[in-house]
Structure 1
Amino acid sequence: MITIEGIKQVANQGPYAPNWQSLGNFELPHWFRQAKFGIFIHWGLYSVPAFNNEWYSRNMYIQDHPEFAHHVATYGSHTEFGYKDFIPMFTAEKFDAIQWAQMIKDAGAKYVFQVAEHHDGFQMYQSDLSKWNVVEMGPKQDILGELKTAFEAEDLHFCASSHRAEHWFFMGHGQEFESDIKEPMVKGDFYWPAQPEPDNQALYSEPYPSQEFLDDWLFRTVELIDKYQPELLYFDWWIQHDAFKAHLQLLAAYYYNRGAEWGRKVGICYKHDAMMFGSGIVEIERGKFADAQPFYWQTDTAITHNSWCYTTNLDYKATKEILHDLIEVISKNGNLLLNVGPKGDGSIPDTDQRILKEIGDWLNINGEGVYESKPWRKAGEGPTKVVSGQFQNTKRYTSEDIRFTVKGEALYAFVLEAPTDGKVKIRSLAESADQNLPEFHGIVDLVEILGYTGDLSWTKDASGLNISCPELDSNFPIVCKITMK
């Protein structure tokens, strides 16, 4: 049985303690820095209505929202058919954890985050704290447990995310009119606590989450840790609220100490400075840093522009756009976490499968410049610049936009847009008589383009390293491997 006293005992047993001073000793798992590319999976009850995005459970109760009108037109009155009534429809009859694991491995990913509980409060795992979970309802199978087994069988690192914090207010709009969300509500109810929604940027917004809710959040997260032993945890945005600070430090110390018991380093991915810098992994949603960072970080983005879960109106990204994201991130000392959204029945959409296969095919050729690489002395060159921050627009790159990584004796130059004339110029490798001016003084021994078997020649002069590959034909970024003496 989970108790506050038991949590505090583990949190204080060392090597960590529940304060930022101690948690600042956090050490990044070695495998994470080497992995570079992971998969996020948003699959849950919201995948059944499959309308607009994964916030359906909130938006269907907002009276001027498209989801509200859609819900009434499709399912009827909110008093007769509420969000909970999707549960019997969530049968996951085509779910195959082994197939998922093989597809993700073939895509070249090294780790996977499954959403264990989204804002809607429906748990994708077996829980002793709530009956509203996939073992007791809906699919009636332990989705998270099956995925853990399948992923680890393919040597994929198993990770999990919790979005429970936002449940404090996520169903609150349903109390503004006649619906199936109504008082009295008590702990244990599916929709509880359904409080008024705050400004999501307000760090001190009222009403503050109650002690009862905070303890419930803590207990659910501890249960997730102990039952499934994820190698990383991911928290969505609302844990930066002031009310979570004490519980978050307690939870982090508990988790990191559990990791020490298991004999492996674990970590927490967080947004918006919810945790003190240095106590976990900095996360950026749908964005990047403009320059290489001295700390390791991760960006999470989706395979589509408009949703994290499967819907019937998905706006998919091009595979090249996703590869651009991956290259930008790894050149700046980070990892890319790419989200896919299975259908409500558990099948993976054909377009997702195609994109993942194309990424995997590209990584099979170019992965040596990706996995286990490090940033070079500069992240890249070229006219196209990105802006630091979340939710940044996609850039249009040119053949002059080049990003760098380094590993062993080789510098890898990623040409983001393959040149149509077969000519590449890397200006950062220019020669100069003035030893104080150029960025590079090393001796180039060999130049190759990964996966390219045509004619290739190269020269090095005051303008840069000039590569000619007249037979080059690629729709995706190319990677020049420059081996040094």
Structure 2
Amino acid sequence: MDRRNALKLGVSALAGLYLSPLLGQSHILNTPAFKGPFQPTWDSLEKYQVPDWFRDAKFGMWAHWGPQCEPEAGDWYGRGMYEEGSRQYKFHVEKYGHPSKFGFKDVINVWKADNWNPEELVNLYKNSGAKYFMAMANHHDNLDLYDSKYQPNWNSTKIGPKKDIIAGWEKAARKAGLPFAVSVHAAHAWNWFDTSQGADKNGALAGVPYDGKLTKADGKGTWWEGLDPQDLYAQNHPLSAKPSDRSSVHSQWDWADGASIPSSAYSEKFHDRTIDLIDKYNPDMIYFDDTALPLWPVSDAGLRIAAHMYNKSLQKNNAVQAVITGKILNEQQKKAIVWDIEKGQSNAIEPLPWQTDTCLGNWHYDRGVYNNKRYKSAKTVIHT
């Protein structure tokens, strides 16, 4: 395994550390009781205790790897390729064609993961000092990288690599004796992909819609005949405010500031996909790329997922050995799950365990970072 190929997998660093005060109390939704001592409410989840294995681990490695690495053009490619005039849009048009004709679904189709060797990679990470290993289970692009019961067509066993990526990572991590973690980002596909609803404002194809609104009926005679792109893009809904503004999606991360609110069907599908992931692959840890928990506060889906994972771990281990992370937590939420600070750290010594995470280059592989020797040094990763 050469250095370039290892880095192309989007390997990132994770560190378990300690937390600080942020937001006030969140509104609690009325939800049905969940079987087991942990109920899907913050009041119940705050009884959680962080397991010793995570307190002691201190350093982990994360393979932030999926179909957005295929173009080798950096992070959030699946959104940026639909932003007319952007670097990724220009790259996409030159490499693949116009996004009305070759969309992100087609990028997935050409991603094959031919040289992926999970056992070799996990051994490399362990030998580098990792005490736990994390693999990406899905990103905002909404492709499940596992044999997904509730995303049955748009998953890596059916298109693209036609491999169960999470199963391969899990097997390698267990063999290496490392706790196995997964990261889940798909709750935000609803508004993250809203750029795919657009069209060029200039040029020969001005006004021609990108492929984000295509349906199953449009696929006749294509490689994706029989598949419904809306099961991937989830764009059969009104746009969020300022959908083409790159900064607006960040201000709407907590489903405020004009965000289009996900439907109940979308939220329940995300819930079912994540429960399926937990039950099939038994991760020791889940990283959620969300404010607090997924879809909070517009849905209690994330609360139900957390209660399920804690109760399942308790039943299996006679103590909760599971870890769940979330971002931008209030004081009660910091007791219920582990606070994650992306590319940052607390400015105080904290009473509870927390985690920071960063990437060596971009979150998704960018050949330019490699070519220009812009990877972060170990010192930079550790100290910043």
Q: TM-score range by the shorter chain?
A: 0.7 to 0.9
> Among 181, 190, 194, which residue is 2:232 paired with?
190
Q: Could you tell me which amino acid in structure 1 is paired with residue 211 of structure 2?
A: D
| 8 A Cα contact 2:213 2:230, kept in partner | no
Structure 2 residue 134 is the aligned partner of structure 1 residue 134: no
Alpha-carbon deviation of 1:242?
A: 4.6
Structure 2 residue 285 is the aligned partner of structure 1 residue 235: no
| 8 A Cα contact 1:240 1:272, kept in partner | no
| 8 A Cα contact 1:259 1:265, kept in partner | yes
Equivalent-residue separation in structure 1 for 2:80 and 2:169 (angstroms)? 29
Report matched runs for 1:19-98 at 5 Å: 19-51=41-73, 53-98=74-119
Report matched runs for 1:343-362 at 5 Å: none
Equivalent-residue separation in structure 1 for 2:305 and 2:229 (angstroms)? 21
Report the equivalent of 2:212: 181
Could you say if the C-alpha distance between residues 89 and 278 of structure 1 is closer, same or farther in structure 2, counting changes exceeding 3 Å? same
Equivalent-residue separation in structure 1 for 2:164 and 2:80 (angstroms)? 28
Could you say if the C-alpha distance between residues 233 and 244 of structure 1 is closer, same or farther in structure 2, counting changes exceeding 3 Å? farther
* Root mean square deviation, CA, Å: 2.1
Higher relative contact order structure (alpha carbons within 8 Å, sequence separation ≥ 6): 2
Give the secondary structure class of the aligned counterpart of 1:181.
Answer: helix
Give the secondary structure class of the aligned counterpart of 1:237.
Answer: strand
| 8 A Cα contact 1:208 1:243, kept in partner | no
Could you say if the C-alpha distance between residues 30 and 244 of structure 1 is closer, same or farther in structure 2, counting changes exceeding 3 Å? farther
Equivalent-residue separation in structure 2 for 1:114 and 1:151 (angstroms)? 10
Equivalent-residue separation in structure 2 for 1:303 and 1:206 (angstroms)? 31
Equivalent-residue separation in structure 2 for 1:61 and 1:194 (angstroms)? 17
Alpha-carbon deviation of 1:174?
A: 1.6
Structure 2 residue 343 is the aligned partner of structure 1 residue 293: no
| 8 A Cα contact 2:294 2:301, kept in partner | no
Report the equivalent of 1:211: 264
Q: Could you tell me which amino acid in structure 1 is paired with residue 364 of structure 2?
A: C
Report matched runs for 1:333-412 at 5 Å: none
| 8 A Cα contact 1:29 1:265, kept in partner | yes
Alpha-carbon deviation of 1:188?
A: 5.7
Report the equivalent of 2:310: 256
Report the equivalent of 2:366: 311
Equivalent-residue separation in structure 1 for 2:36 and 2:276 (angstroms)? 20
Equivalent-residue separation in structure 2 for 1:76 and 1:184 (angstroms)? 20
| 8 A Cα contact 1:209 1:243, kept in partner | no
Report the equivalent of 1:279: 336
Structure 2 residue 382 is the aligned partner of structure 1 residue 323: yes
Gaps of 5+ in 2: 1-30, 200-208, 217-227, 242-247
Number of residue equivalences: 314
Report matched runs for 1:467-482 at 5 Å: none
| 8 A Cα contact 1:171 1:194, kept in partner | no
| 8 A Cα contact 1:167 1:194, kept in partner | no
What does the per-residue CA deviation read over 1:342-368, in whole Å, with 9 as the maximum and x for residues that have no partner?
A: xxxxxxxxxxxxxxxxxxxxxxxxxxx
Equivalent-residue separation in structure 1 for 2:79 and 2:350 (angstroms)? 36
Give the secondary structure class of the aligned counterpart of 1:171.
Answer: helix
Q: Could you tell me which amino acid in structure 1 is paired with residue 166 of structure 2?
A: L
TM-score, scaled relative to structure 2:
0.77
Larger radius of gyration: 1
Equivalent-residue separation in structure 2 for 1:206 and 1:251 (angstroms)? 23
TM-score, scaled relative to structure 1:
0.61
Structure 2 residue 139 is the aligned partner of structure 1 residue 118: yes
Report the equivalent of 2:40: 18
Report the equivalent of 2:11: none
Q: Could you tell me which amino acid in structure 2 is paired with residue 92 of structure 1?
A: A
Q: Could you tell me which amino acid in structure 2 is paired with residue 211 of structure 1?
A: S
Q: Could you tell me which amino acid in structure 2 is paired with residue 297 of structure 1?
A: W
More helix by share: 2
> Among 245, 251, 255, which residue is 1:201 paired with?
251
Give the secondary structure class of the aligned counterpart of 2:195.
Answer: helix
Identical amino acids, percent of aligned pairs: 31
What does the per-residue CA deviation read over 1:366-395, in whole Å, with 9 as the maximum and x for residues that have no partner?
A: xxxxxxxxxxxxxxxxxxxxxxxxxxxxxx
Alpha-carbon deviation of 1:197?
A: 4.0
